[in-house]
């Protein structure tokens, strides 16, 4: 499934095969929370260089429900995206969005943030939903402790996460080939999620336990939850040496362009984050020169392109002054152009990262990038 071609320091350049095509690594997954990248057509995501979309199990389970998606022939057909799709397990949203939740050994009970309905999510149910969506890469159900959780809590949580990972894998193996309700004809991959809070030894323990169970790839979860950047990089360093070199490594929910560059340098292959799409809607734009807050007065009379190095529609056909005007006037086109640009920026960054590894100059690339990128 995963093949790595070349390294530059610890940075890795490879390919990841899925039933819906091969992905060049390292890569960034654009977020399509409810089966749509907010404001963009699937064909636009593809044209910008998007290789894979991430959709959220929690949101799709609540609305429209996985049975409707399955009836449509799976999420690929439903949303008209023929590339790979990764789905999360729903766990993170249960812990961050649901109104009331009760953690039990066999799962988590929560109330829908939409209508208050009580739902019980088990490790098995999380996989069943993802199989009905027809996901290419599925994630195990885990519990993500808060950044400031004490060690006793993190130890207990880690035990639960490992037990759930094992149960997810057992259920996945049992049902991937012949369950009558599954959508994809090609069995997809299942990834484990390393937890362990901000403790080196617990991160190592978690990684080793997951590797013993055996997954198609390994994610590092529970980071970028409010801890300082240095702690996050530290935890990546504490985890990566305990992961197999022949499986993809996925840093969940990260991050800023700087975080991505730092993590690639530490051997990470996969990323997802709401930043490019969410920040676009707030007029917070990523450019090769750094962050542009488009509503700022200084752009009122600025008739230059947003990012001269970007080939997207927002940058090649419009000026900063016009983008600012659209944002101030709350035009729908503002959301569209800002999103197009931010997604283009992230996907182009990944393209540059891959080229730098191919040319074995990732270290130099990182330095140049960080020198130019002003926050």
106 is catalytic: no
- Annotated catalytic residue: which of 142, 216, 259, 272? 272
Residues 236, 240, 242, 246, Cα dihedral to 10° = 150
Region binding Zn ion by CB under 5 A among candidate stretches 10-18, 171-179, 275-283, 338-346: 338-346
Q: Which of 312, 349, 356, 357: binder of Zn ion (CB under 5 A)?
A: 312
Residue 65 falls in which region: left (phi positive, over 0), alpha (psi -120 to 50) or beta = left
Site string for Zn ion, 204-233 (x = CB under 5 A): ------------------------------
Residue 270 beta carbon to Zn ion: minimum distance, rounded to whole angstroms: 23
Query: Any long-range contacts for 176-183 (C-beta under 8 Å, 24+ apart)?
Result: 176/131, 179/131, 181/70, 181/128, 181/131, 181/132, 182/131, 182/132, 182/134, 183/69, 183/70, 183/73, 183/74, 183/75, 183/131, 183/132, 183/133, 183/134
Contacting Zn ion within 315-334 (CB under 5 A): 315
Residue 292 beta carbon to Zn ion: minimum distance, rounded to whole angstroms: 10
272 is catalytic: yes
Rule CB under 5 A: is residue 194 a binding residue for Zn ion?
no
The angle that helices 229-239 and 200-213 make with each other, rounded to 10 degrees, is: 40
Region binding Zn ion by CB under 5 A among candidate stretches 168-176, 217-225, 302-310, 321-329: 302-310
Region binding Zn ion by CB under 5 A among candidate stretches 59-67, 160-168, 216-224, 339-347: 339-347
CB within 8 Å of 321: residues ≥ 6 apart: 299, 300, 301, 302, 303
Contact between 365 and 352 under an 8 Å Cβ cutoff? The reply is: yes
Rule CB under 5 A: is residue 183 a binding residue for Zn ion?
no
Considering the complex, state which of residue 231 and residue 317 has its C-beta at the smaller distance from Zn ion: 317
Rule CB under 5 A: is residue 341 a binding residue for Zn ion?
yes
Tell me the C-alpha distance between 330 and 309, whole Å: 26
Region binding Zn ion by CB under 5 A among candidate stretches 121-129, 145-153, 218-226, 337-345: 337-345
Rule CB under 5 A: is residue 310 a binding residue for Zn ion?
yes
Considering the complex, state which of residue 127 and residue 315 has its C-beta at the smaller distance from Zn ion: 315
Rule CB under 5 A: is residue 158 a binding residue for Zn ion?
no
Considering the complex, state which of residue 144 and residue 312 has its C-beta at the smaller distance from Zn ion: 312
How big is the chain by its Cα radius of gyration, in Å?
A: 20
Half-sphere exposure at residue 174, Cβ-oriented, CA atoms within 13 angstroms: 9
Residues known to be catalytic = 88, 272
Residues that bind Zn ion (CB under 5 A): 310, 312, 314-315, 341, 344
């Amino acid at each position: 499934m995963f093949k790595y071609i070349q390294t530059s320091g610890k940075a890795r350049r490879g390919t990841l095969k899925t039933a819906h095509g091969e992905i060049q690594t390292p890569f960034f997954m654009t977020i399509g929370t409810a089966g749509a990248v907010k404001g963009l057509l699937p064909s636009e995501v593809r044209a910008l260089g998007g290789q894979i979309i991430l959709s959220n199990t929690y949101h799709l389970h609540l609305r429209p429900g996985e049975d409707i998606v399955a009836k449509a022939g799976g999420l690929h057909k439903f949303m008209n995206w023929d590339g790979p799709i990764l789905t999360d397990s729903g766990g993170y949203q249960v812990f961050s969005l649901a109104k009331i939740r009760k953690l039990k050994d066999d799962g988590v009970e929560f109330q829908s943030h939409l209508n208050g309905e009580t739902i019980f999510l088990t490790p098995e149910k999380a996989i069943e939903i993802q199989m009905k969506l027809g996901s290419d890469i599925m994630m195990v159900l885990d519990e993500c402790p808060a950044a400031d959780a004490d060690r006793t809590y993190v130890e207990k949580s880690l035990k639960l996460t490992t037990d759930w990972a094992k149960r997810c894998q057992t259920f996945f193996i049992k049902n991937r080939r012949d369950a009558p309700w599954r959508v994809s004809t090609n069995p997809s991959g299942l990834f484990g999620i390393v937890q362990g809070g901000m403790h080196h030894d617990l991160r190592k323990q978690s990684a080793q336990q997951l590797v013993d169970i055996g997954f198609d790839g390994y994610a590092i979860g529970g980071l970028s939850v409010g801890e300082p950047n240095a702690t996050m990089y530290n935890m990546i360093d504490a985890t990566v040496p305990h992961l197999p070199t022949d499986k993809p490594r996925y840093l969940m929910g990260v991050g800023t362009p700087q975080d991505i560059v730092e993590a690639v340098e530490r051997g990470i292959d996969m990323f997802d984050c709401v930043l490019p799409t969410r920040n676009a809607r707030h007029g917070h734009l990523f450019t090769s020169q750094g962050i542009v807050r488009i509503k700022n007065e200084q752009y009122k009379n600025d008739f230059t392109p947003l990012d001269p190095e970007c080939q997207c529609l927002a940058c090649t056909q419009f000026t900063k002054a016009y983008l600012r005007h659209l944002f101030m006037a709350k035009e729908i086109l503002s959301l569209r152009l800002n999103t197009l640009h931010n997604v283009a920026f992230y996907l182009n960054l990944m393209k540059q990262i891959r080229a730098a590894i191919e040319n074995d100059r990732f270290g130099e690339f990182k330095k140049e990038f960080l020198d130019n990128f002003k926050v």
